[in-house]
Structure 1
Amino acid sequence: MYGGSSYRTRSSKDIVDEIESCVKTYGSRSFYFDDDTFNVGKTRIMDLCREIKSRKLNLPWAIMARADQMDRELLETLKDAGLHALKYGVESGAQEILDGACKGLDLEKVGETIKITRELGIQYHLTFMFGLPGETEETARETMALALDLDPDSLQFSIATPFPGSRFYDMLLKSGHLLSTNPDEYDGYHNAVVRTEALSHTDLLSLRNEAENLWKEHCRQRRARE
């Protein structure tokens, strides 16, 4: 899939055969699709859900997915087939940052999808990052505000970290915003190897720490209300 514009998918039967094999051989009690965009191709996913349900596996499972590729029908079908939890990559609370990163994600659609996900009782984990091109203190705070407003079951804040050979890496190298080429520092959390026009690497780490403290307080208040 990285060498062209098409990729090959496995049949629903083949996938569920493998799941059944794991259950029978290893006693697996749940499963997770570690595919960063599991829900591409609604027809294919609906077929997979029918196959899972027809086998009567009755196991909880989880996925990673794009929020803008979801709708109520698909989420209801996933839930009916045993989907217990999912992860959506939101990354920024500022639409202009997402557009600049060519993510192609509409934050309004994200909000609509998460509302349906919550209504259906599917647990959801959200990911956010600081340091994408154009990031400022204002856009970082928009991300913090959105993260709290979407009220996920869990979340992850990280620092934008480029893969060598990617367009992002080359862009940072050219602009002088790449601060290290040492792969040991590319953890996306304890180290910030990028900066933006407005923010230094220490600014990014500080904003990530602030975001995590806000999230901890949000969770504390949520538990107190329950």
Structure 2
Amino acid sequence: MTDVLLFIPRYKWNDSKKADSCYPPIGVAILASNLEKNSYSVSIRDANVEPISEKEFIGLIKKEKPSLFGLSISDANIPDVKRWCLLVKKISAHTKIVIGCRDKLFLKNNFLSFADYFVIGEAEETIVELSDCIIKRTCSLKSINGLAYFEKNVLVMNSLRKKVSNLNKLPFPAYHLLSMNLYKPYAINHLGKRFTAIISSRGCAFKCSFCSIAVANSHTWRPLSAANTIALVEYLHAKHGITHIHFQDDEFLIDSKRAAKICTLMRSKFDKEIVWECRGRAANMSETLASLLASANCIAITFGIELGYQEGLDKIKKQTTIKQIEKAVEVSRENHLQTKAGFMLGFPWETKEDVQKTIDFAKKLPLDFAGFTILIPFEGTEMYALLKKERLIVSSGDTFSKKNGFEFSVNTKFLSYRELVKLKLRAQKQFYLRPTYFLSLFFRSHNLLMLKRCLKTYFYSIKAIIWTSSKLFRTQ
């Protein structure tokens, strides 16, 4: 019998096959670790790497007999979460269901009557106190900050819980509860090494108008110390044989001194044993930092560039200039870092000419990979409010997940959603189908490892073009 069973539904609707790539659920693993620290028995089942049928799921619940069944919810998986929760209620009357939600607004806008409790925001302390209440019966529901629940069919929301101010006080994620050998990065990042991801900081201090991460974290950035970050890497290397790490921090470069210290420690402790990659803002990259990253065996950096024209960058409050972007990509390439970037299209004011400016800018940069996505208007952001005011959000909720995969349907003042999908396809074709791009992959490859990554990048990109083409066909 297990005290708490934490379940991760599949990201895609077809749960009969394993995902092509999947990163470990670090947030869930931290919850599990904190529960174990407080003497609760915990198990994790991730359906993304261990697909599960309804029959197998029923068997799992009957075997584990959890007192608490927990999973998180988002716009993308409401129907899927409901499906699993109703199954639990049907076969295990004593099991209470708790759902993790990003904020109160999401909970207010979605009547989730198929669950018993809701944890709002960061859940490390809330899940322990809820377990104390349900399993040990040592406290009352009303005393638990960050919790919501139904009382006589009325949703009661307690006071919000303050965010964890010092991440160094949290235990390391419970990687031992995960099937570590089953997780693998996206094809373009796959090196055949034993892989995992870590999160060494939370949040972002900047105020980009479209970003939900900064809003959810009140525009604050909270890091693990460099020493604790390296201690986690040492643990993963020693206990799980990890030799490829992806830092999933939203902004790894924000504190250049901390980033430099991590690089120094990575180099001194692991030399070339571990390869790693990270994400950062172009405005925070420097020639010195790029050199330090490369010397510490960092092999790739991803920049969120978003737009290719200064007026647009200013409108979304990016606090980055075109020159800073060009310099960041240049110094990254000079230090042999595989350089990737994300671009967005579909902002309210955008015309075809604006989108083409972004495409042309992406082509101008010496990038190894460019991802083009249609704007997702996250609730609570300035951009969401603007799109809603202008009535440019076409679909959300169930429609979001069933019809459009991982994209909301949005229009701009001048372009329909279908036109945006066409422009996304144009961006992918113009960037990846250039003979000069294909040839550059070979010329930029300074060793077999980089050549392998570059070729995977190219074939992954062709696959993305095919996917977008099929999506365009489906929206007819």
Give the TM-score of the pair, scaled to structure 2: 0.45
Aligned to 1:139: 354
Aligned to 2:396: 181
Aligned to 2:266: 52
Q: How does 1:147-226 map to 2 (within 5 A)?
A: 147-185=362-400, 191=407, 193-218=409-434, 220-224=435-439, 226=442
Distance 1:3 1:84, change over 3 A: closer
Distance 1:114 1:176, change over 3 A: same
* Range 186-195 or range 135-144, more displaced: 186-195
Q: Does 1:11 align with 2:229?
A: no
2-side partners of 1:188 and 1:78: how far apart?
Answer: 37
Distance 1:222 1:48, change over 3 A: same
Whether the 8 Å CA contact 1:172–1:178 is kept in 2: the answer is yes
Q: Does 1:21 align with 2:211?
A: no
- The DSSP-based 3-state class of the residue aligned with 2:305 is strand
Whether the 8 Å CA contact 1:177–1:194 is kept in 2: the answer is yes
Distance 1:214 1:41, change over 3 A: same
Counterpart of 1:141, as a letter, is: Q
Aligned to 1:106: 321
Structure 2 residues not aligned, in runs of 5+: 1-202, 204-215, 443-476
Structure 1 residues not aligned, in runs of 5+: none
Whether the 8 Å CA contact 1:90–1:127 is kept in 2: the answer is yes
Whether the 8 Å CA contact 1:195–1:201 is kept in 2: the answer is yes
The alpha carbon displacement at 1:84 in A equals: 0.5
What number of residue pairs does the alignment pair up?
Answer: 225
The alpha carbon displacement at 1:182 in A equals: 2.4
Largest Rg, 1 or 2: 2
Identical amino acids, percent of aligned pairs: 25
- The DSSP-based 3-state class of the residue aligned with 1:89 is strand
2-side partners of 1:82 and 1:116: how far apart?
Answer: 16
2-side partners of 1:192 and 1:76: how far apart?
Answer: 39
2-side partners of 1:77 and 1:198: how far apart?
Answer: 44
The alpha carbon displacement at 1:87 in A equals: 0.2
Of 96, 121, 124, 2:311 maps to: 96
2-side partners of 1:85 and 1:17: how far apart?
Answer: 22
1-side partners of 2:310 and 2:404: how far apart?
Answer: 22
Q: How does 1:30-45 map to 2 (within 5 A)?
A: 30-45=244-259
Distance 1:151 1:183, change over 3 A: farther
2-side partners of 1:64 and 1:188: how far apart?
Answer: 26
Aligned to 2:337: 122
2-side partners of 1:196 and 1:15: how far apart?
Answer: 42
* Range 176-185 or range 163-172, more displaced: 176-185
The alpha carbon displacement at 1:57 in A equals: 4.6
Counterpart of 2:312, as a letter, is: I
Greater RCO (CA < 8 Å, at least 6 residues apart): 1
Counterpart of 2:418, as a letter, is: T
Whether the 8 Å CA contact 1:158–1:189 is kept in 2: the answer is no
